[in-house]
Chains A and B, each alone.
Chain A
Amino acid sequence: MMPVEPQFGLSPLVDPELGGPPTGPVPMAPAPVGKPSKWIGKIGPVVVLLVCLAFFALPLLAMARFAFQQIPVITLRWSDIFSRWTLRFVKQGLDDQPLRNGLWLSLKLVLATVALTMALLLPTTLWVHLRLPKLRSFVEFLTVLPYVIPPIALVAGIVVVKDNARWFLNSDYSLVPFYVVLALPFTFRSLDAGIRALDVKTLVDASRSLGAGWGTTLFRALIPNLRASIVSSSFLTATVVLGEFTIARVLLKRTLPTELYTFQQSNAFAGTGMALLILLVTTLLLLILTLVTRKRGAAQSITVF
């Protein structure tokens, strides 16, 4: 799930083409002297790859086993490996009311965050590209600031005003602006890349010269062309929001991650099962995102680093 802590990690979805594909029939590096190093050169990378594959797959498999197989680890034997698999726990998870509420709230937060992000960033990025191009790097720098202030520190800052801003912080939606901030590095970058791939100035000029007002220009000329960026920012935001635990927890909100955490304590099996589901959904979202941005080419890649 989206952790916000590997927030740096949050979508350094590098476009594979960005690094440059190997050109043509690339000749292999000259064979090193001596047999041993030759073998290491060839086998080494494969071993590394396989070991890493195991490392990344095992936790997920363990989760699946824990959640879907009814046998406690202590009594597990090799012969049992295919017995007593069930989706019972998943059902339990799905039936749990607080968890469902948490999911519902998180979904609503996703929508609200996406909406606020777009409302804030679309005009801003367009404005910067059209009227203040020199300030582009400054704005970019600003959007990287959330990295320097990790969620746990940010929430400490929020607590400072807790007494004064109680009216605001009481609402569950008070999380939204902070989520917008957390997702900022990625959403800005995604929109920015999309805008740079277009020739915004020309589009705007063309639209205006044909008599369209700013509203029409925005909605009929610009936004349709930025669809891919908008979609990818939204997906990213969704993954951030669905996984954000830190701020929600300290502010005692009951979102999906916090509810999952609580749920896990009473029903470890179902909790793990739900967590696995969420991981799979997030993975799916991010994979779709990678594929979409890849097809569009390097310009729409969302490299943050």
Chain B
Amino acid sequence: MTDVALNAVGGRAAGAAPAASAPKARRSWAWLGLVPFLAFLLLFLIVPAISVFSKSLFDNNGDFGFGALKNAFTGQNLDAFSFSVRLSALSALIGVIIGTLLAYAATTIRRPKWLRTVVTAFSGVAANLGGVPLAFAFLALLGRQGIGTKVLEGLGIDLYGHDFALDSIWGFATVYSYFNIPLMVLITLPAIDGLKTAWREACANLGGTSFTYWRRVGIPVLTPSLLGGFLLLFANSFSAYATAAAITTKSSIVPLRISFYFRGDISSGEEQLGFSLAAWMILIMIVCMGLYWFLRKRAERWRT
């Protein structure tokens, strides 16, 4: 993350805390200041999360069992998992490759000088665009009535004749790329900046070509960041709901399946499955983010 400038001085009060208080008493008093925040998080984040898990482990009769969690991998839910995983991996891959190339382009092209700033600014914006409007945009472009579709037809490429659909894996991946690529650009730019020109020159000086440099220094150094980026984009794509919901009414991915179980007030009787899907989703997110964190720390180690 950003520089963590830990104040090594410790919890010494800024005001005039009575020096006579025992440190222990003073410290627990200071803790109280966090209570509102902690309570809020507990109530509105932790409790719902835990409820998801408890509901997946304990059925309506109160019996404990991993049954629901296992059942999450059957039938339509299994299809949804499979599709989600494949889709997320594909989107992440596209995002990593194009995002890195774009970030590299932004750092290498020196003129005009404002190019990098513009790319960064627009990436910051585009990474946050998505959801319903984005879906509409792609519907207008590549939907059955989309103008892009029509133009391609004119060029002889029949998209829909080739089994393309906006809610197919490639359709989704294309739409997701709209925010995945900028996200990758933003997290990769610092990593690329970290590639010192001295390394490139030293490599040339020692007899290496461009190819040698990338193969033996550049890519290896970038790899933790690239992997981390992949994980982040994977997590991002996996948990995406709004964009998908606006594109299709079918529940082909896990988030859509979850909402299928919970929409409205109709009790479907199978809610436990919904909860277990959500529980699995959280677990996947934890793993992805945890690995991402670890990789980031490793990458930073090499950045002096």
Contacts and interface: CB of A to CB of B under 8 A. Distances in A.
A131 B11 CA distance: 5
B120 A257 contact: no
B171 interface: no
Interface string A111-152: 000000000110110011111111111011010111111111
Contacts of B78: none
B: contact size bracket: 35 or more
A117 B80 CA distance: 36
Contact of B48 (A13, A154, A252, A291): A154
B183 A135 contact: no
B94 to A, nearest CB: 11
Contact of B129 (A3, A146, A177): A3
Contact of A46 (B45, B105, B139, B177): B105
B147 A76 contact: yes
Given A6-B179, A56-B178, A154-B48, A1 B258 contact: no
Contacts of A123: 33, 36
B82 interface: no
Contacts of B255: 150, 152, 246
A301 interface: yes
B14 A201 contact: yes
Contact of B45 (A55, A130, A145, A282): A145
B130 A1 contact: yes
Nearest to A18: B190
A45 B101 CA distance: 7
A236 to B, nearest CB: 9
Interface in B127-144: 127-134, 136-141
Interface in B266-289: 271, 274-275, 278-279, 281-282, 285-286, 289
Contacts of B242: 3-5, 243-246, 257
Contacts of A305: 1, 186-187, 232, 296
A278 B128 CA distance: 13
Contacts of B232: 8, 305
A154 B53 CA distance: 11
The A interface, classified by DSSP as helix, strand, loop or mixed, is helix
B164 interface: no
B51 interface: yes
B30 interface: yes
B85 interface: no
B240 interface: yes
Nearest to A125: B37
Contacts of A19: 189-190, 192-193
A60 B137 contact: yes
A60 B125 CA distance: 14
A10 interface: yes
Contacts of B133: 1, 63, 243, 260, 275-276, 278-279
Interface string B16-39: 000000000000001101101110
B132 A140 contact: no
A59 B141 contact: yes
B126 interface: yes
Contact of B285 (A136, A150, A158, A193): A150
Contacts of A153: 49, 52, 239, 258, 278-279, 281-282, 285
B259 A29 contact: no
A120 B37 contact: yes
Interface of B: 1-2, 4-7, 9-11, 13-15, 30-31, 33-34, 36-38, 40-41, 43-45, 47-52, 55, 98, 101-102, 104-106, 108-110, 115-117, 119-122, 124-134, 136-141, 145-150, 177-183, 186-187, 189-190, 192-193, 197, 200-201, 204, 209-211, 232, 235-236, 239-243, 245-246, 255, 258-259, 262-265, 271, 274-275, 278-279, 281-282, 285-286, 289, 296
Given A275-B136, A304-B1, 5 more contacts: A19-B190, A123-B33, A150-B285, A243-B128, A252-B264
25 contacts: A9-B128, A27-B197, A32-B210, A33-B209, A45-B101, A56-B178, A62-B140, A62-B146, A63-B137, A73-B149, A131-B14, A134-B7, A136-B6, A144-B289, A150-B241, A152-B241, A160-B52, A177-B40, A180-B40, A243-B128, A245-B241, A249-B245, A286-B124, A286-B128, A290-B125
Cβ-closest 10 pairs across A and B: A157-B48, A3-B131, A3-B130, A9-B127, A150-B239, A45-B105, A133-B7, A62-B141, A59-B137, A245-B242
